[in-house]
Amino acid sequence: MFRSVLVANRGEIAVRIIRTLREMGIRSVAVYSEADRQSLHVATADEAVCIGKAPPADSYLSIDSIVAAARQCGAEAVHPGYGFLSENPRFARAVAGAGLAFIGPPADVMERLGDKTAARRLMHERGVPIIPGMTRPSDDPELLAAFADEIGYPVLVKASMGGGGKGMRVVGCARELREAAALASGEAQAAFGDGAIYLEKYLDRPRHIEIQVLADALGNTVHLFERECSIQRRHQKVIEETPSTALDAGLRDRMGRAAVTAAKAAGYVNAGTVEFLLARDGSFHFLEVNTRLQVEHPITEMTTGLDLVRLQVEIAAGATLPFRQEDVSTRGHAIECRLYAEDPGAGFLPSPGRVALARMPEGPGVRLDSGITTGSDVPIHYDPILAKLIVHASDRSAAIARMLRALEECVILGVRTPVDYLMDVLRLAPFAAGDTHTQFLEEHMADWRPAPPNLALAAAGYVLERRAMQAGGVVGTGGGAEGLDANSPWRRLGAWDLGGRS
Amino acid sequence: MRMKLRADDRVFEVTTGGDGANGGMGLSIDGHPSEVCVIASSAGRHSVNAGQRSHVLYTAPAGSGGTWVWCEGQAWRVSDAESEGRSTGRGPSGLGAGVTPPMPGVVVRILVEVGQRVTRRQALVVVSAMKMETSLVAAHDGVVTGIRTSVGTSVRPGEILVEVQPDEPGGDDARR
């Protein structure tokens, strides 16, 4: 086993990986940019190396700096986390080239799966169902039109090298196609440096169902069941859960087998995720393979009882999978909510800044993977994810109730978070009914506004905080034996002295 | 005493004075009587009773004299509405003569030049924060009179990035 592993990431995912390394007795090395010197992942690791300036291109995306840091501190392996360089084959190759183990799939597997149309061709050949559509990109309007006619409108125009919804457009009829294709291609060119596009059949309100797979270098491949990630906003997952309400045992088995077939077709090694769209008629279609750990991996960990990061490290060190498919089972229901620094009351604008207070939820069945603490800076340069809140309970309705309770306990002040928005999503009747799909938030939450403040409590909080600051910090607590009169703020807090008396 | 507070976008008048019927803070919110009893208060955590219900409030300083107040999943920024400017509400703010970012960020593109005519809602500058780009637009028709930033600069709310001289309302153009 490795003695030392470098974590090429930041924030909550770096902290999460470091925790497992500690449990495994492996020395952890964090890397950080100048903006992250004081951050939690740096404080959590055994050792930390500064790799450059705040902009990602100068630090967390700098392959040379990270490989040099790994060499400098004697790390034997590199865990990329997710985002940044995690799906970059050049990085995987550079790490391997430096004689270090890359904790993830080999570079050629990433390349094979990174090209969306090539991946679709590969899966189609191996009998994994794909969404009806083109298996080669094209920008020829005639060819696109002929193809759209063949599969029938509406169609989806997608960027071949795309992701995150960029360069993606729904086209309802033939006369809209030419312009939509040109716009999508332009967007793809700007975002990915490659304007190649292709067409797919547009599925109405599908579910996003993904299957966690795990493969060792000897070719043993298993799946760890599904995660439903249909609750998305602008193609970003917001709430994930497992099991999905849409899968029965038969469908679960068929999708699991398809995911294992997909992983084997690509020669997959380590942890990966095969994403599918589940249509309303019950048919499922291959979307793509994410060649890394997913943000939502904890819900699988909660229901299977496995530590995916530990398994990733063991596989990268050459270990055989410690179980077979028939040994894996799940218990209960798990839900994850992503806590971003964003303001749902102002169009989900990013909300960087300093965390004035962070008090995290506790209690039965609650897990928090956080990258912040009171006093943390949330820089403007990086992804806005602050923490992931995960709950596990015996069944789905208990899990929803537990998540609502945990969100209510989740105090983050100083930056805006979507806690109130998430609670309102979880309280929706269609969510409780399990009637989720990828347009769910557009359909049910488009007109959402934050509840108006409770003015009496807002005023009381303001007064109490101001008073505490004037008293130099701590206000006396009321003793249990004190009567109501003794609790009167007029007695205990003195006068309400706010910028002068009236 | 009376004060005018702002909780997020809501401005309201608070009058305090005397004990409430249950011995708590007697409050009047926009003229409506209310009472909050403090059970315990320590280090930013406050256990209170209001309207027959108990609540836990968490508070923290919010800068410029404001206070963050958290209650059961909701966070409010509360400040003295009279001593603070208009720009502390939620979301984009329209400062008359120029554009300022709604959140801290880095300037990634400047789309106009000094002397250029712009129309209301025309994008003037693009700011990036946390991998999201936001276009800042002109609040009115007018002429760009100054560009006070450059690409790659870190900027904060309140800083004017582009100055726009608004067209005279009721001037010749408007009448025609």
B91 to A345: CB separation less than 8 angstroms, yes or no: yes
pLDDT tens digits, one per residue of A459-496: 999 999 988 888 764 443 333 333 334 444 444 444 34
Cβ of residue B12 closer than 8 Å to a chain A Cβ: yes
pLDDT tier, A165 (very low <50, low <70, confident <90, very high otherwise): low
* Chosen domain end from A103, A123, A150: A103
Task: Identify whether A127 is part of a domain.
Answer: no
Of the candidates B12, B7, B25, B11, the one whose C-alpha atom is nearest the C-alpha of residue B68 is: B7
Cβ of residue A304 closer than 8 Å to a chain B Cβ: no
Task: Identify whether A212 is part of a domain.
Answer: yes
A189 and A82 within one domain:
no
B103 to A351: CB separation less than 8 angstroms, yes or no: yes
A434 and A469 within one domain:
no
> Which neighbouring-strand residues pair with B89?
none
**Residues of A labelled catalytic:** 292
Task: Identify whether A499 is part of a domain.
Answer: no
Distance CA A338, CA A295 (A): 9
> Which chain A residue's Cα is nearest to B30?
A455
Q: Which CATH class is domain B93-175?
A: mainly beta
A312 and A242 within one domain:
yes
Cβ of residue B81 closer than 8 Å to a chain A Cβ: no
pLDDT tier, B21 (very low <50, low <70, confident <90, very high otherwise): low
pLDDT tens digits, one per residue of A343-381: 999 999 999 999 999 999 999 999 999 999 999 999 999
CATH level 2 (architecture), domain B2-86: 2-Layer Sandwich (3.30)
Checking if the pLDDT of B173 tops 70, the result is no
A216 and A159 within one domain:
no
The sheet carrying A27-33 orders its strands as A47-52, A27-33, A4-7, A77-79, A101-102
User: Given B10, B25, B131, which is nearest A452 (Cβ)?
Assistant: B10
B38 to A346: CB separation less than 8 angstroms, yes or no: no
B130 to A341: CB separation less than 8 angstroms, yes or no: yes
User: Given B7, B106, B128, which is nearest A453 (Cβ)?
Assistant: B7
Task: Identify whether A120 is part of a domain.
Answer: no
Contacts of A217 (CB under 8 A, 6+ apart): A269, A315, A318
Cβ of residue A382 closer than 8 Å to a chain B Cβ: yes
In A253-343 the beta strands, taken as DSSP E runs, fall at 270-278, 284-290, 333-340, 342-343
Mutation target vs A (from B45, B131, B137; most A CBs, 10 A cutoff): B131
Cβ of residue A474 closer than 8 Å to a chain B Cβ: yes
pLDDT tens digits, one per residue of B73-87: 999 999 999 886 544
Provide the 10 A C-beta neighbour count for residue B94: 13
Cβ of residue B57 closer than 8 Å to a chain A Cβ: yes
Number of A:B CB contacts under 8 A?
Answer: 226
Mutation target vs A (from B48, B68, B127; most A CBs, 10 A cutoff): B68
A395 and A334 within one domain:
yes
User: In Å, how far is B127's CA from the nearest CA of chain A?
Assistant: 11
A214 and A196 within one domain:
no
Cβ of residue A494 closer than 8 Å to a chain B Cβ: no
A236 and A194 within one domain:
no
User: In Å, how far is B145's CA from the nearest CA of chain A?
Assistant: 28
pLDDT for B27 equals 86
Cβ of residue A461 closer than 8 Å to a chain B Cβ: yes
Distance CA A479, CA A437 (A): 51
The token pair that represents B46 in the structure block: 């406050």
Q: The domain spanning residue A373 has which CATH number? A: 3.30.470.20
Mutation target vs A (from B22, B41, B47; most A CBs, 10 A cutoff): B41
Cβ of residue A435 closer than 8 Å to a chain B Cβ: no
Cβ of residue A375 closer than 8 Å to a chain B Cβ: no
pLDDT for A499 equals 43
Residue A495, SS3?
coil
A212 and A196 within one domain:
no
Cβ of residue A414 closer than 8 Å to a chain B Cβ: yes
Task: Identify whether A119 is part of a domain.
Answer: no
Q: The domain spanning residue A42 has which CATH number? A: 3.40.50.20
pLDDT for A138 equals 86
pLDDT tier, B20 (very low <50, low <70, confident <90, very high otherwise): low
Q: Which residues 259-278 of A have a C-beta within 8 angstroms of B? A: none
A190 and A216 within one domain:
no
Region of B23 please: left (phi>0), alpha (psi -120 to 50) or beta.
left
pLDDT for A164 equals 62
Residue B17: phi, psi to the nearest 5? Answer: 165, 125
Residue A232: phi, psi to the nearest 5? Answer: -130, 150
Q: Which residues 16-45 of B have a C-beta within 8 angstroms of A? A: 16-19, 22-25, 27, 29-30, 34-44
Q: The domain spanning residue A160 has which CATH number? A: 3.30.1490.20
Contact A10, A32 (CB under 8 A): yes
B40 to A477: CB separation less than 8 angstroms, yes or no: yes
- Domains B2-86 and B93-175 agree in fold: no
A490 to B106: CB separation less than 8 angstroms, yes or no: no
B57 to A460: CB separation less than 8 angstroms, yes or no: yes
Distance CA B9, CA A72 (A): 52
Distance CA A215, CA A2 (A): 19
| A54 DSSP assignment | S
Checking if the pLDDT of B146 tops 90, the result is yes
Average pLDDT score over residue span A84-95: 97
Domain, as residue range, for A87: 4-103
Which chain A positions have a beta carbon within 8 Å of B41's beta carbon?
464, 468, 475-478, 492-493
> Which chain B residue's Cα is nearest to A84?
B131
Checking if the pLDDT of B22 tops 90, the result is no
B90 to A343: CB separation less than 8 angstroms, yes or no: yes
* Chosen domain end from A173, A201, A229: A201
pLDDT tens digits, one per residue of A404-439: 999 999 999 999 999 999 999 999 999 999 999 999
Which chain A positions have a beta carbon within 8 Å of B22's beta carbon?
484
Distance CA B138, CA A165 (A): 28
A407 and A480 within one domain:
no
Question: What's the N-to-C CA distance of chain B in angstroms?
Answer: 52
pLDDT tens digits, one per residue of A221-241: 999 999 999 999 988 999 999
Split into its structural domains, chain A has a count of 4
Domain boundaries, chain B: 2-86, 93-175
A272 and A170 within one domain:
no
Distance CA A419, CA A407 (A): 6
Cβ of residue A496 closer than 8 Å to a chain B Cβ: yes
Checking if the pLDDT of A54 tops 80, the result is yes
Q: Which residue type, as a one-letter code, is found at position A496?
A: W
* Chosen domain end from A172, A201, A230: A201
